[in-house]
Structure 1
Amino acid sequence: MARKNGSLWKLALQKFRRDFWGVTSFCVIVFYAFCALFAYILAPDSTRHANQMHLSIHSQPPGFTVDMLQLPLNNNQDTSIWVWFNGSTPEFEEIPFKNLKQENGSIYYQPFDVDGNEQAYHLLKYEEARGIELSRFRESYTHTKTFLLGTDKYGRDLLSRMLVGARISISIGFVTVFISLVIGILLGALAGYYGGRIDAVIMWIINVSWSIPTLLMVIAISIALGKGFFTVFIAVGLTMWVEVARVVRGQVITARKFQYVTAARALGYDDWRIITRHILPNIMAPVIVICAANFAASILIEAGLSFLGLGAQPPMPSWGGMIKDHYQYIILDKAYLALVPGFAIMTLVMAFMLLGNSLRDALDVKQG
């Protein structure tokens, strides 16, 4: 049985490799996962939540370039390895400027104005800059910064917010699938294997949960437990197990009549071993397909909750929250502020749906 099962999985892998859309969608998912995992290493703004604001350069288009004053701060920097995962505290105070001048040994800067208006020069209140030559000051304390995707309405780097926000969508999918697998496989296997009253009770729970709209249940759980990042994990995860349980139950009902289950019982194996070592490994193909669909659904639900203000709370970035902050710009000339996170959600969800379809075809033993 093990050899045959292994050969079937090998055949499924070969079929999947020949599927162009399946391989492409898998590469897209890997790309997003890589960006999410190494977000603070890849992001131009590596501060926690990529939350450095510059209101004077808000809502700038992709490719926007501006000169920045970069003044060191006396913050205690975290040098541990976890900085790449949690982000760092700001090392510099950044001030967008248009021009610099020096008078009586003091440096004056002209702030950048988003509307192009001429601003009065401000005295730079930074003691270490007093008496330094202007050319040397430019070399030591200024730099040119480019925002590849532009800035949001608070002047934050949109690319950095997108990279850090990818963590919400990717992590909500993984946690949701994990919770749905644990609950769905456990209840579905028990209902399908034992039947009788156990099956009746579990099916009653499944039917009640199935009858409640998913988004409504998630909103109710979020309100009951409070707004927050981890609340969304729990709320979405507790609503995605029903379909897994129904499929597992049906597959177990069919599988328990097979000869290898009868042989395992004749050898004296207990029910737990029969379920976990013999039945479940042979019914995982449809479960894997459902997991791909649940991954996509959980991303959409999280985006909807963030749009409603029930998801990740500011300043933590999320793609749904970014759409909420900028959806009014769609009718203006800055529609990209909402379209960029919307496109990311669309491509990631589509990738999981295409991956699910490819896995369904690859794991179908009836197809050659």
Structure 2
Amino acid sequence: MTHSNNSLTSLALQKFKKNFWGVFSLSIIICIGVISIFAYLFAPDASKNANQMHLSIHSKSPGFEVQMLTIPSGIKSNQDFLSKLFFGKENTDTEIPLASYEVKGDVLHYVEYASDSLKGLEKQVALSKFSNSDYQSFVDNRHFVFGTDKYGRDYLSRILIGSRISFFIGFVAIFISLIVGLIMGSLAGYYGGKVDAVIMWIINVTWSIPTLLLVIAITLALGKGFWQVFIAVGLTMWVEVARVVRGQIISAKEMQYVTAARALGYNDYRIITKHILPNIFGPLIVISAANFAAAILIESGLSFLGIGAQPPMASWGAMIKDHYNYIILGKPYLALIPGICIMLLVMAFMLVGNALRDALDVKT
């Protein structure tokens, strides 16, 4: 029996590997997953939420460069390496974009950067502010690959860190929907009768409510926040899983191996978990991939409406909301870049789902 299962798994893997778009999409998903986990390692601005604002250089085009003066605050941080890697650096230093600077004696004179051909303020700071008076190590050329947003934050860093919410909401939503959907679908399909009628009534009522409206209601009940959105999206996606599981179990419970398990005296829990569910995991994998993409779109919609992840947390949907009016103001890339990222990730999951469906289809 084990040899047969291994052979079927190997056959499915071989069929999946032959699907170019499936493999290509899976590689994109893996790359985005690695980036989302180690976002602060890749982001030019490694401060928490990449929230280092410089209003004087707001809405700059991709490739913009400016000299940046960093004035140490003198506050020592006790943050460890892992905290910096996964949650960002607690930056207490002051960063000032410069138009020019020069040193006169023990004083650093500088002119702040100003947009629209305006002249910036002239200020000065004592060299004693810098360690060992080595001011040159505190002035560097800052390059903004994707430009800056309307608050002067590095846009590439915000995009990289924003991938975390869009990527991880899929996993949390799928995890919640699988737990609830498997339990409800298994009970309805295996026992039937009144149990099936009650659960199907709950499913139909939930199904009749528009998904976005239901998510908004749950989000308002739980409150605005990071985890509240994850839970709200997961609690609205279990219906599809439950319907698929119910249908699969109704057909599977009449199979000979289930009849044999009952004859051997196994209890219902063991029959469902050890015999039926492993044989219906193919359709669940496919629907999970589709739900993953749907969860990303729902979260983006919630963030766009302002009830998703809250500022200053980076989110692709919130970035579109903040900059959609720039489409008609001559800087459409501020809204298009996060939009393209959402489209790319959603399309990748849909193509992987299609490839898995073809690979797990025994008829082909």
Give the alignment partner of residue 161 of structure 2, picking from 147, 160, 164: 164
**Gap change, CA 1:145 and 1:352, over 3 Å in 2:** same
Identity %: 60
The question of whether the paired residues in 2 share the 8 Å contact of 1:73 and 1:93 is answered with yes
TM-score scaled by structure 2? 0.96
Q: 1:313 aligns with which of 304, 310, 316?
A: 310
Given that 1:107 and 1:130 are in contact with CA atoms closer than 8 Å, whether structure 2 keeps it comes out as no
Aligned residue in 2 for 1:206: 203
Q: In structure 2, what residue type is equivalent to 1:95?
A: I
- Distance in structure 2 (CA, Å) of the matches to 1:319 and 1:158: 11
| Matches of 1:275 and 1:93, distance apart in 2 | 60
1:255 and 2:256 equivalent? no
Residue number in structure 2 paired with 1:217: 214
Contact 2:58–2:152, Cα closer than 8 Å, also in 1: yes
1:177 maps to which of 150, 174, 178: 174
CA-CA distance at 1:10 after TM superposition: 1.3
How far did residue 106 of structure 1 move?
2.0
Residue 355 of structure 2 is matched in structure 1 by 358
| 2:343 is the alignment partner of 1:346 | yes
Tell me the equivalent position of 1:297: 294
Structure 1 counterpart of 2:232, from 232, 235, 240: 235
Contact 1:50 1:157 in 2 (8 A): yes
* Distance of 2:179 and 2:76 partners within structure 1: 42
- 2:197 paired with 1:189: no
Deviations 1:44-89 (A, max 9, x none): 1111111000011111111111101122222332024222111111
Q: Give the C-alpha shift of residue 292 in structure 1.
A: 0.4
| Structure 2: distance between partners of 1:358 and 1:38 | 28
Question: CA 1:48–1:259 in structure 2 vs 1: closer, same or farther (change >3 Å)?
Answer: same
CA RMSD, 1 decimal: 1.5
Is the contact between residue 165 and residue 315 of structure 2 (CA under 8 Å) also seen in structure 1? yes
> Any conservation in 1 of the 2:178–2:241 contact (CA below 8 Å)?
yes
TM-fit CA distance, 1:337: 0.6
Of the structure 1 ranges 83-92 and 237-246, higher mean CA displacement relative to structure 2 is found in: 83-92
> Quick check: 1:3 aligned with 2:3?
yes
Give the TM-score taking structure 1 as reference length.
Answer: 0.95
Structure 1, gaps ≥5 residues long: none
CA contact (8 A) 1:58 1:155 kept: yes
Q: How does 1:52-67 map to 2 (within 5 A)?
A: 52-67=52-67
Which string of whole-angstrom CA distances, capped at 9 and with x for unpartnered residues, describes residues 158-190 of structure 1? 111111110001111000000010000111011
> Would the alpha carbon gap of residues 129 and 16 (structure 1) be closer, same or farther in structure 2, given more than 3 Å must change?
closer
CA distance in 1, matches of 2:237, 2:311: 26
In the alignment, the residues of structure 1 paired with residue 256 and residue 295 of structure 2 have an alpha-carbon distance, to the nearest angstrom, of: 38
8 Å Cα contact 2:106/2:127 also seen in 1 = no
8 A Cα contact 2:107 2:127, kept in partner = no
Q: Which runs of 5+ in 2 are unaligned?
A: none
Q: Is the 8 A contact 1:96 1:112 kept in 2?
A: yes
Cα deviation, 1:264-322, whole Å, max 9, x if unaligned, reads: 11111111111111100000101110000000000000000000000000000100000
- The answer to whether the Cα contact below 8 Å between 2:50 and 2:154 also exists between their aligned partners in 1 is yes
Letter in 2 for 1:362: A
Counting only pairs closer than 5 Å after superposition, residues 49-88 of structure 1 correspond to structure 2 as 49-77=49-77, 78-88=79-89
Per-residue deviation at 1:92? 3.0
Equivalent residue for 2:37? 37
How far residue 204 of structure 1 moved from its aligned partner, in angstroms, is: 0.7
Q: How far apart in 2 are the matches of 1:333 and 1:255?
A: 58
Match of residue 112 from structure 2? 111
User: Aligned with 2:71: secondary structure?
Assistant: strand
Q: Does the 8 Å CA contact 1:75/1:89 hold for their aligned counterparts?
A: no
CA distance in 2, matches of 1:336, 1:88: 28
Correspondence for 1:95: 96
Q: Give the distance between the partners of 1:324 and 1:128, measured in 2 at CA.
A: 40
Shift of the 130–363 alpha-carbon distance from structure 1 to 2, 3 Å rule, reads closer
Of residues 310-319 and 103-112 in structure 1, the stretch that sits farther from structure 2 once superposed is: 103-112
